[in-house]
Amino acid sequence: MSKLPASWVPYAELMRIDKPTGTYYLFFPCLFSTLMAAPMLSPAAPLASVVSYSLLFFSGALIMRGAGCTINDLWDRNLDPHVQRTRLRPVARGAVKPFNGLVFTGCQLLAGLAILVQFPVPCIIYGTLSLPLVAAYPLAKRVTYYPQFVLGLTFSWGAVMGFPALGLDLLTNTAAFTAAACLYASNVAWTVLYDMIYAHMDIKDDAKVGIKSIALKHDADTKKVLTGLAMAQVSLLAAAGVASGAGPAFFLGSCGGALVTLGIMIKRVNLKNVQDCWWWFVKGCWVTGGTISTGLAADYLIRRAEIDQTCVTPQRMS
């Protein structure tokens, strides 16, 4: 941020360039679905395709997370000044005028479209369908105590995208559809879980200004809710693995790893301490997301190697 021209800094802040954890949370579902879809193809998707689409997904996550944050700040420009953590955001402090923020949103959406059109046509269609959800989340905070579910529906969209990106038709391939649906639902549960912890950082200010959240609604029994969400996440993740034909590396690495890392986080996080909530929000992204990704990657590489070995063996016998 310090290397940017001064006039650019407020816009970089709007995109949360200095706080990239949200980008990683948006990217992980894309990575999960790409790695899960890759070995479902016959033959398995080439490593180059998996890597190239993953890089495109990361670029899209960076841009669209920025667009979502800008939309959120425009919606919340009259609320953010009353919340300690958000009072210095660019629109709230007057560094970016609402009209300029709106124009900036349009520019980010155009950049996101430029990335999206590099995917197959089904991906473009599915990606476009997510836009109403991007705009709906800030509104949800005003009308329901469960806006985290709207955020979950939005942030988990990538859990569907990897399948059509690699050429699996969700409308005709029952296994791919079931795997994508279970993976999507698993990521919704994960999003609600980590954002419930995140929401505890603002719980006092939110109560004062009328912002609703699941943390406010279930303040007294948050850890029980978190435990239920973790169980749902891992169960649905395992169901996705069954549908996709995943092997032991996935169930031990991804499902087992997620169960352990989530359990440790839920047990240790101090929900009354803002810094501790932030620490677990950030570290939980990498620990749980990284564990699931590692298990999926190992499963893909093992199954791809098995397929390659099957193809080579008959040639040697002949």
Average pLDDT, the chain: 93
pLDDT of res. 199: 94
pLDDT per residue over 221-271, tens digit each? 999 999 999 999 999 999 999 999 999 999 999 999 999 999 999 999 999
CA nearest 288: which of 269, 267, 264, 270?
A: 264
pLDDT of res. 310: 65
pLDDT of res. 175: 97
pLDDT of res. 312: 56
Give Cα separations from 101 to 65, 74, 246 (angstroms): 15, 7, 44
pLDDT-derived band of residue 317, with 50, 70 and 90 as boundaries? very low
Quick one: average pLDDT of 43-72?
Answer: 95
pLDDT-derived band of residue 318, with 50, 70 and 90 as boundaries? very low
Residues in the chain: 318
**Identity at 15, one-letter amino acid code:** M
- Judge contact between 266 and 292, C-beta under 8 A: no
pLDDT of res. 305: 85
Which residue in this structure is represented by tokens 């949370």? Answer: 25
What pTM was estimated for this model as a whole? 0.93
- Judge contact between 163 and 170, C-beta under 8 A: yes
pLDDT of res. 315: 46
pLDDT of res. 67: 93
Q: Where are the alpha helices (DSSP H) in the chain?
A: 9-14, 21-37, 47-75, 98-116, 121-129, 131-143, 147-155, 158-165, 174-199, 203-209, 214-217, 222-244, 248-249, 257-268, 274-317
pLDDT-derived band of residue 4, with 50, 70 and 90 as boundaries? confident
pLDDT of res. 7: 86
DSSP secondary structure string for all residues of 264-308:
HHHHH--TT-HHHHHHHHHHHHHHHHHHHHHHHHHHHHHHHHHHH
pLDDT per residue over 198-214, tens digit each? 999 989 888 888 888 99
The CA distance from 154 to 56, in Å, is 18
- Judge contact between 200 and 213, C-beta under 8 A: no
CA nearest 182: which of 247, 130, 255, 132?
A: 255
pLDDT above 60 (res 129)? yes
Quick one: average pLDDT of 113-129?
Answer: 95
